[in-house]
Structure formats: C-alpha cells, structure tokens
Chain A
Amino acid sequence: MKIMDREENLREEILSVFKNTEVSSPKRKRLTVITEKALISEVMKFLKDRGFKQLCAISCIDWIEEKEFELIYHLSSFESGIHAMVKTKIDRENPVMKSMIPVFTNAQTYEREIWEMFGVQFEGNPRLIPLFLDRWRDIPPFRKDFDIREYVKRTFDVIPSLEEKQNG
C-alpha cells in the first residue's frame, strides 16, 4: 500500500540499526517500537534525527502481575504526521530509569509526574520534587496496589463532623 510507505521505511530502518527491537505499525500514522531499557535513549535520538522533534508525553503502566512497569515515550513528527510510541519495561521492585532530558528537555515534567505517581526513579533528572501532591505520605497513588477507596475511608471518612463530635 502506498500510504503506509513511510511507516514501512521507518520500520525497516529501525530494525536494521537496533537489535532486540520489535517495530510495528498498527494503523496509519502510528508506529510502535518495543525495545530494551538500555537502548531507549539511542532509539529516541535516532527517531529525533528522523523528524520526531517533539516528545508529547511519557506514560507509565503498572503491570502488577508481571512485576513490571512499562514506560511509553510518545514522539510526534510534524512533517510526516506519524506518532511513535517507544516502549520498554523496567523492574517493579527497583524501578530505575535513565532520564531522557539530554534528548528531550521537556521530559523533565513528565518524568517528575511519573516519579510522583508511580515512584520510578529517573537518574539524571535534577528536579524530582513533588509536582501535584502536597506532603504525600502513602505509597505512590497510581500504583495498582494502592486502593483509593480504602484510603478515602481511613483518611477522610474517619474524621467526625461537628454534630457527631458534640453529641459524643
């Protein structure tokens, strides 16, 4: 098919350079690259040179049963209009990842969010300080083993209202 050419070319190019990497294009203007942790920054640099100038977002998924965190780097190219997802998995027990700030400056905020919400450490990010939460004392809230309903019960619901307090 003609319209899928760009995706197909990119796929072959990536596969020829990187080993242990899977590339697929599930639909038009989408590219999924699954690679290993150590190769991430190389793959990102490679894609950046090929027009993927902007890092849109970084997502994190907690695969609690596999004991892994999956990190998804969303890259966007304005010339070809392709949206690329670069994925990798890291260990859940000791979640450490290299910061992507040297490649994309705006990774800082996204990494900060993931650090706060999932507890993933990003080596080389100078600003891992709380972004949204105020003096959070529990485990990172977006992890799957954090039960929000139980937390609400034990934190907010146990506080008596004024009437309850006055009536004993």
Chain B
Amino acid sequence: MDERELELFFGPQHMGMVGNFSITLKVRGDRVVEARANPGYLHRGFAKMMEYRVWIQNFPLVCRINVMDPDPYELIYAMGVEELAGIEVPERAKYIRTIVMELSRLASHLAWIWAYGNALGFDTIGQWSMGDRDYIIDLLEFLTGGRIYHIYIWPGGVRRDLPDGFEEKTLKILDTLEGHLPEYDDVFFNNRLFVTRARGVAKITKEEAIELGATGQVLRATGVKMDIRKLEPYAAYPYLDFEIPVREDGDSYSRMMLIREEMDQSISIIRQCFKKMPKGPVYHRVPNPFKWKVPKGETYVRMESARGELGLYMVSTGEDKPYRVHFRPPSLPHGILILEKLLKGASIADVGHIMMSLYIAAPEVDR
C-alpha cells in the first residue's frame, strides 16, 4: 500500500490535549514517524517578572506557575528565601506545610485521574475523582481562603494556624476518600480495558529515563527509587514513616498505577502529621517585608512536587529584590525530549494517552 508522510498538528485546540500545548506529528498511515513538542503557549516569563518585585511580592506570583499543583511552588520559594536569609521554621509550621503539600498532591492526582480517564473514554471515573477533588479543594479553602491559589506559606512558617475543626474535617474527608479508592480500582485501575490499553505502551528504560532527565513517576516507574522526600527530606518528612511506590516496567500502566499508590501514601502521611504535630507558634517574624533585604548569596533548593523533582536556583545580591530566579520544573524534561522519544512509533490514537501518562503540566513547562 502506498502511504504518504503527513504532518499533523495536535493541539493547542484539541479534545485530547490537557492544557495549552501542541505537538507536531509526522505520520505515515496511523503511525507517528516523528514528533516535535511545541510548548510556549503559556509562557509568561516568571523569572523576569520576579526580578521586578520585592521578595514578599513574589509569593502571589510563584503559585501561579502550575495551576494544578500550586503549593509546592510556594513552599520551594519560601525554602529558598529561608535558606538565603537564614530563617528557622517552627516545628508546627513544618507539619502544617507537609499537610498542605500532601493535600495539593492528592488534588493534583485526582485531577489527573479525571484527565486520563477522559482521554481513554472512561467518563465515570472522571465524575467521581473531580467530585472527590472538590472535597480537598474545600478543605484548602477552609484553611487558606482560596480555592485554587492559596498563598498560605510564607518565609518563616505559614500565614496562620489551622482553624478550629480543621483536623476533624480533614480526617473525615480522608476517610471518605479512602472509602472511594477501592471503587476507583474497580472501575478504572483494575478495569481490563484500561490495563490492556495502557500496559506496554510508551515504554522507557531506566538508563534512558535518567539520561533524559526524568524524575517523579516517570523515573520511579522504571525501578529507580528516587524521591526527594527521602533523598533530602524537607518540612516534616524526616519525622514521618512512608513508602515510595516503585514499579519496574516503565510503561503507561506503571506510571498511572504509581499515581494511584501514591494517593494511599499521601493519606497516611496526612494522618501521621495530625498525630505527631506539636503545639506552638506557626511562624517566625520576618523583617518589614517591604524593606526586607535578603543577604547576598545563592542557593539551590529542591523538593518533590506531585510530578517530580522541583528545583529552584536563586541568587540574591543583597537587594530588596531577587537578582535571578530559575525554576527547574519536573515537566520540562518530560514534556519535550521524553515525550518526543515515546511518541515515535506510537499510533495516533495513543498520542493523547501517552502525553497524559507522562503527567505533563503545560503551564509548568512554559513558566
């Protein structure tokens, strides 16, 4: 059969695309010969804008880098400022930060289950997981006052203590969520349609994953037990007992199952935090934020966001504004080189599905 090579534009306005992202595919028949990721539809130039704002003004900015998982960005920026300025964080604030991180991870994973389910045609699971995500968003709203963007974490701690009744409400919602998870397994994760569709698709080996800069689920699905929460514990993670789920196959299925297994761990971490949390202050006072000059220096801080290693390299020249801020988002390597590599040879029907399985957040790639 005579087959021509065609160029196919996938996105940004496309039903199979989550977020504003585009891929240019070269296809022969329904096989992808070559894929070129084309990001930049969400580029806002955060690093540059942050150089124009004083240290504290940057907090409302950084959380907007990734709308699906905003809290890790607040925390990492706070960690960077704390390290430059030499501020200690009170114990209680560390636990509260950990709770916020894990709630954000849960919300992000639930949103992704919706997206992934929709991409594969499982509508039911999406209706459930989005409903459950809203419980968590309500919790965060109760805690911080904002549904999506919280601006709750500050250098030196968190903005205010947990409100009355937060613990009971959270534990109740975690119980509900834990009760729903086996139903998720029945309808989606153990569903034969999902398993046959995802198993063996978009395989990546351990060596390739490391070489191409993979972190998070993409790397852990290939058998590397790498998680910054264990490698270089921050916040309250050193005091907590949790597992890092790892799989060996490196395919779509393993990556998605890791997301599912991490949700169990997050629920357990939040429960432990409530048990172990000491009483006490939740922030150390910082100097007048509008005149605050952070001492000269540079720092690289890193943490595990929902998608992988999030890094921040920040340079201060002793002024009231940062001199240079550089984020290392986990989705950047996943969204360009790894995506292009995995799409080669895939069928067109799998393109959206492979992109979802890599857990790519387009706003994070572009910044």
Contact = CB atoms under 8 A, between A and B. Distances in A.
Interface of A: 29-30, 53-57, 59-62, 72, 74, 76, 78, 81, 83, 85, 104-106, 108-109, 130-134, 141-142, 146, 148-149
Given A29-B232, A61-B323, 14 more contacts: A54-B213, A57-B313, A59-B313, A76-B309, A78-B224, A78-B226, A83-B232, A85-B313, A106-B212, A106-B213, A131-B40, A142-B47, A146-B48, A148-B49
Contacts of A72: 313
29 contacts: A54-B210, A54-B213, A56-B213, A56-B309, A57-B311, A57-B313, A57-B328, A59-B313, A59-B324, A61-B323, A62-B324, A72-B313, A74-B300, A78-B210, A78-B224, A81-B231, A105-B337, A106-B211, A106-B213, A108-B337, A109-B336, A109-B337, A130-B40, A131-B39, A132-B40, A132-B366, A142-B47, A148-B48, A149-B52
B45 interface: yes
A61 B324 contact: yes
Interface string B350-367: 000000000000000010
B49 A55 contact: no
A60 B232 CA distance: 25
A82 B41 CA distance: 34
Contacts of B213: 54-56, 106
B302 interface: yes
B40 A83 contact: no
A108 B212 CA distance: 10
A53 B210 CA distance: 7
B40 to A, nearest CB: 4
A114 B333 CA distance: 15
B346 interface: no
Nearest to B302: A83
Contacts of B231: 78, 81
Contacts of A54: 210-211, 213
Contacts of B315: 61
B110 to A, nearest CB: 28
A55 B313 CA distance: 14
B332 interface: yes
A83 B211 contact: no
B326 interface: yes
Nearest to B228: A81
Contacts of A62: 324
A148 B52 contact: yes
A30 B300 contact: yes
Most buried by A among B47, B211, B232, B300: B300
B98 to A, nearest CB: 20
B54 to A, nearest CB: 15
A106 B337 contact: yes
Interface string B218-231: 00000010100001
A81 B226 CA distance: 9
A133 B43 contact: yes
The 4 A-B pairs at the shortest CB distance, nearest first, are namely A132-B40, A57-B328, A132-B43, A106-B213
Contact of B326 (A30, A55, A57, A134): A57
Interface in B288-303: 300, 302
Given A78-B224, A105-B211, A105-B337, A141 B40 contact: no
B84 to A, nearest CB: 12
Given A74-B328, A78-B231, A83-B300, A133 B336 contact: no
B214 to A, nearest CB: 8
A92 to B, nearest CB: 14
A115 to B, nearest CB: 14
A55 to B, nearest CB: 6
Nearest to B211: A105
Contacts of B300: 30, 74, 83, 85
Contacts of A141: 45, 48
Contacts of B337: 105-106, 108-109
B232 A81 contact: yes
A53 to B, nearest CB: 5
Interface in B187-213: 210-213
A72 B311 CA distance: 13
